Amino acid sequence: MSLIIYLDGKFVPESEAKISVFDHGLLYGDGVFEGIRFYNNRVFRLDEHLQRLYDSAKAIRLEIPLDINEMEQAILETIRRNDLHYGYIRAVVTRGVGDLGLDPDKCSVASVFVIASSIVLYPDKYYQEGLEVVTAPTRRNIAEALNPRIKSLNYLNNILAKIEAKNANVIEAIMLSNDGHVVECTGDNIFIIKNRVLYTPPTYIGALEGVTRNATMELARDMGLEVIEALFNRYEVYLADECFLTGTAAEVIPVVKVDGRIIGDGKPGEISKELKKRFEVLTQTTGTPIYE
């Protein structure tokens, strides 16, 4: 079944959803995006995702031709046009059509498209048994070069690390900062638990301020856990009682082995499992209504 795509103010079949080869999003990765989930006829934390999208656009001096309320309606209507109730949204803003030079001012108007579909990032067995991950040789971009807090279309840094994960026969890799601190994974934020304290890297070292990350921190505090954003390295990960990843597509997924070191007892930890359960309840019971 062909999807209906929102593209620059129109809803078109996916076969007609095309952009120019001169679009700077294609030529240079010049643009921003958001990945958003919807569950049980509600879009999860849509306001937070949209705010991050517009913040990313502001950071690269990209003017989105829709205001934030119009973008929200475009997203909701795209879901409705596809008669979906659970799924994944990709909202993308490119710099638009320009010439073959770098100058963004040669692009007269940004292009916006929204895809509503489904996504499966990890097989179910990994949620039950846990992931094995490795540390990628590729380091995370430094903020002074290409700030990872900008959710831009240029994801080659992440892709290079993803290739290294696949070369190691695993499906995810930890990325380190230039000075060796744990930052995040190729597509997910990372958490460790030690003595019932939850730790995650601060965003200023190059971690994306994930919407699922923030929701998980709230849930952990509700459980009475201390939550600390702090610098740590692989040594702390190897000695952690538990480790897990969070992301819009991944949700909450446990990690049981890092660089060949068993984490905890080698099984998903009790706190990780409880956070996963509470996150599932949160997604099923909260969010922006789609069909009302």
- Which residues form the catalytic set? 151
DSSP 141: P
| Strand blocks (E) in the chain | 4-7, 10-13, 31-39, 42-43, 87-94, 111-117, 131-135, 173-176, 182-185, 189-194, 197-200, 226-229, 242-247, 251-258, 261-262, 288-289
Which amino acid would we find at residue 58?
K
Cβ 195 vs Cβ 240: under 8 Å: no
- The residues pairing with 116 across neighbouring beta strands, listed in sequence order, are 89
What's the distance, Cα to Cα, between the start and end of the chain in Å? 25
DSSP 85: S
Collapsing DSSP to helix, strand or coil, 149 comes out as: coil
All residues at 6 or more sequence positions from 171 whose CB lies less than 8 Å from its CB, including other chains = 122, 126, 131, 165
What span, in angstroms and rounded, lies between the C-alpha atoms of 140 and 135?
A: 11
